[in-house]
């Protein structure tokens, strides 16, 4: 594969990265906070490809001919390097859902921010934020406020429903579930992987995840309604 071909592959790679970053596709791979770095990386790859091509075209004809005489033709199989680029765009993996959640222990960690909740009732909180306050703050920062949060449904082997969000440190490869049990006015029929917006209040009820002995808090459901899955199905710890 000569330099022009290498530049073409670089250009395609940069274009694929930019395409993912300028659409919601990148959310299948990395957390949203990394978008600026992703766009910068795509731009650098495209610039590198253009500069490589420009220098290749400006090389003296004699030098090009001499280089060609000693150049060994690379096998055409090298063009298979383009296939991962097509997969990036056309075969993006779906976010992990209830199948992963029910087989992975809850990944709840102590929250870094336990500041007072904003005004209004109900107050909207991320599921991970609610779970952290419920377990590590014992609901002190929640009090009797109503909380609105959302996630997808996961059912354990006994049919017990949990509201779940997958959390990321960096990228989808390290996604882990944070689970919140449901009590109170639970809809009679809940399908795994269906998304719900839950409004409820703090309850001291907790259980232990049988997979890793992690603590799973509960929320006392006042209202539950099905909602479409959000563009960004992940939450971040940071």
Phi then psi dihedrals of residue 13, to 5 deg:
-65, -45
Burial 140-150 (b: 16+ CB within 10 A, else e): ebbeeebbbbb
The predicted pLDDT at position 35 comes to 85
pLDDT tens by residue, 103-120: 999 999 887 778 888 888
* In the predicted structure, residue 193 carries a pLDDT above the cut 80: yes
The predicted pLDDT at position 134 comes to 94
Tell me the pairing of strands 234-236 and 161-168. parallel
The predicted pLDDT at position 128 comes to 93
Dihedral sign (CA 149, 107, 160, 182): negative
- In contact, 202 and 141? CB cutoff 8 Å: no
Closest CA to 20 of 83, 96, 87: 87
* Domains contained in the chain, CATH given: 3-90 (no CATH), 98-236 (2.40.50)
pLDDT band at residue 178 using 50, 70 and 90 as cut-offs = very high
Listing DSSP states for the chain in one string gives --HHHHHHHHHHHHHHHHHHHHSGGGGGTB-GGGHHHHHHHHHHHHHHHHHHHHHHHHS-HHHHHHHHHHPPPPPGGGGGGGHHHHHHHHSPPPPP-HHHHHTS-------S--PPPPSSSSEE--HHHHHHHHHHSTTTTTTT-EEEEEEEEEE-TT--EEEEEEEESSBGGG-EEEEEEEEES--S---TT-EEEEEEEEEEEEEE-TTT--EEEEEEEEEEEE-PPPS--EEE--
* In the predicted structure, residue 78 carries a pLDDT above the cut 80: no
Q: What is the mean pLDDT of the chain?
A: 84
pLDDT band at residue 33 using 50, 70 and 90 as cut-offs = confident
């Amino acid at each position: 594969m000569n330099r022009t071909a290498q530049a073409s592959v670089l250009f395609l790679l940069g274009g694929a990265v930019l395409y993912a970053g300028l659409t919601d596709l990148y959310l299948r791979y990395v957390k949203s906070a990394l978008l600026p770095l992703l766009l910068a990386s795509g731009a650098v790859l495209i610039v590198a490809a253009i500069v490589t091509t420009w220098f290749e075209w400006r090389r003296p004809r004699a030098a090009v001919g001499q280089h060609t005489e000693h150049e060994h033709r690379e096998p055409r199989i090298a063009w298979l390097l383009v296939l991962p680029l097509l997969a990036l765009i056309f075969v993006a993996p779906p976010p992990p859902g209830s199948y992963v959640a029910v087989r992975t222990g809850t990944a709840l960690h102590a929250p870094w921010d336990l500041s007072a909740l904003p005004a209004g009732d109900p107050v909207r909180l991320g599921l991970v934020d609610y779970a952290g306050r419920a377990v590590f703050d014992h609901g002190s920062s929640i009090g009797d406020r109503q909380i609105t949060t959302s996630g997808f449904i996961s059912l354990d082997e006994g049919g017990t429903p949990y509201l779940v969000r997958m959390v990321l440190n960096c990228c989808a490869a390290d996604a882990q579930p944070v689970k919140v049990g449901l009590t109170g006015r639970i809809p009679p029929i809940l399908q795994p992987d269906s998304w719900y917006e839950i409004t409820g209040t703090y309850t001291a009820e907790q259980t232990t995840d049988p997979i890793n002995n992690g603590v799973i808090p509960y929320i006392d459901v006042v209202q539950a309604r099905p909602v479409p899955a959000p563009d960004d199905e992940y939450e971040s710890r940071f």
